[in-house]
Amino acid sequence: MMSLPLYVQGAWFLGAALFIFGLKGMSSPASARKGIVIAGYGMLIAIAGTFLVPGLKNIVLMILALGLGGAAAWISGQKVKMTDMPQMVAIYNGMGGGAAAAIAAIEFARGDVHSTVTTVLAVIGALIGAISFTGSCVAWAKLQGVLKKAHRLPAQNAVNVILALTAVGLGIAMVVMAPAKPELIYFFFAISLILGVIVTLPIGGADMPVVISLFNAFTGLAVGFEGYVLGNPALIIAGIVVGAAGTLLTQLMAKAMNRPISNILFTPMVAASSGEAISGTMKELSALDAAAMMRYASKVIIVPGYGMAVAHAQHKVWEMTEMLEEVGVEVKFAIHPVAGRMPGHMNVLLAEAGVPYDKIFDLEEINGEFGQADVALIIGANDVVNPSARTDKSSPIYGMPILNADMAQNVIVIKRGKGTGYSGVENALFFTDNCRMLYGDAQPMAGEIIQNLKSMG
């Protein structure tokens, strides 16, 4: 790295610095767009610096790869719906991990990894990059609906452990026997890729936000390790920053579910027991009744969930909110950390619909206000408002912090049917005396509420 011209190193460090400033900007919704632009300029500078490396080979292939990748990203970025953003994030994570693994594979095939330190880092980067690649592809397939249910092997945990130990053992052999024989390299990558698939297949929708975040961390770390192997400081800094941010986010998401990461990976959330018996019945109401309850309320808290995303209802929900505010109703939005299918999913959808940032509140900020709310309107959310998480020790979601929607004077739930959430647990909230159900897709139901609000003047 030190033999490279100063202008190349300077370009890489400038690009890495812009990555850090861009990530800082992404920490707030108000500055996220600016942060993405800054990081984009950093990427351009880092790429330009790479083309200035003396003696660079395969320039035509590099330009071709940049053209194909850039075109694919531009087209998909223009066409993808906001509701499909989780699967787009998942597959982009996977591409980053796959690229890191491919870099390591090429270095091993050439025999260019010489020192023990670089060999170890190359092996680690290859392992977690390969796992991130195939695991993210499976996550994409689940979110896209290609894989419609979780698939669990007999003795799943034992299979996971055996594959993991085999991959680690092969990696150690590659370090000890460096330069490794081609057969050993092929076997190592095959096991690593299979491990990503096998670990991710049993994980259901309830755990998907944490899984996406974890694979994001894996990708960042893999890129950072391979950056060291290549002697590229831009990759090292960018990878480590992304890996650290992804790791912190994964820990926060797991904490929000009150589940350790190992439990999410090796004990996917399933309704192992029906939990405590729930008394009462679900009580239905009409869109007219829902409109009247909110029209004459002083304070309404809206809790969006994945059902809102599936129904593309965010614009109708914001239109309804504006109508309520025009007649003096205070309206706020409450977001659970794992609502939706990726971290920040609900925030992105609401921002896309035009909801101001100062109306969107996290769990810790809003939970104390439900007791003063006249109405809590729940749109397609289930497990994140289930009071069984506080009381039922036999429930798979026991101990998970929830939004205290049940403490509002009245609760309205817009829901497509009477089924359970992704954890498979019946929601005790739906049977309480202060809860009413409005059955149907969120968008037409919000539209009916809007029409009734208009008729009330």
Catalytic residue set: 383
Could you give the CA distance from residue 410 to residue 269 in angstroms, rounded to a whole number? 30
CA 261 distance to own-chain centroid: 14
Q: Are 405 and 423 contacting, i.e. CB atoms less than 8 angstroms apart? A: no
Question: How many Cα atoms sit within 13 Å of 319 on the Cβ side?
Answer: 16
Phi (first) and psi of residue 437, to 5 degrees: -105, 135
Q: Are strands 435-439 and 360-362 parallel, antiparallel or unpaired?
A: unpaired
Give the distance from CA 39 to its chain's centroid.
20
Cα separation, 31 vs 28, whole angstroms: 5
Question: Which residue has tokens 């920053």?
Answer: 241
| Rounded-to-integer distance, Cα 432 and Cα 452, Å | 26
Burial code (b: 16+ CB inside 10 Å, e: under 16) for 165-197 equals ebbbebbebbbeebbbeeebbebbbebbbbbbb
Helix H or strand E segment including 411: strand 410-415
Residue type, 225: F
CA distance 402 to 378: 13
SS3 label, residue 60: helix
Lookup: tokens for 201:
């297949």
Record the tokens describing residue 378, joined without a space.
């729940």
Distance CA 183, CA 435 (A): 62
Tell me if the bond preceding 179 is cis, omega within 30° of 0.
Answer: yes
Tokens of 326: 């025009």
Question: In angstroms, rounded to a whole number, what is the distance separating the alpha carbons of residues 387 and 373?
Answer: 17
Positive or negative, the Cα torsion across 307, 318, 336, 448? Answer: negative
**Strand order in 435-439's β-sheet?**
360-362, 330-335, 299-304, 375-379, 410-415, 435-439
- Judge whether 287 and 449 are in contact, CB under 8 Å: yes
In this structure, the dihedral spanned by the alpha carbons of residues 154, 158, 162 and 167, taken in order and rounded to 10 degrees, is 90
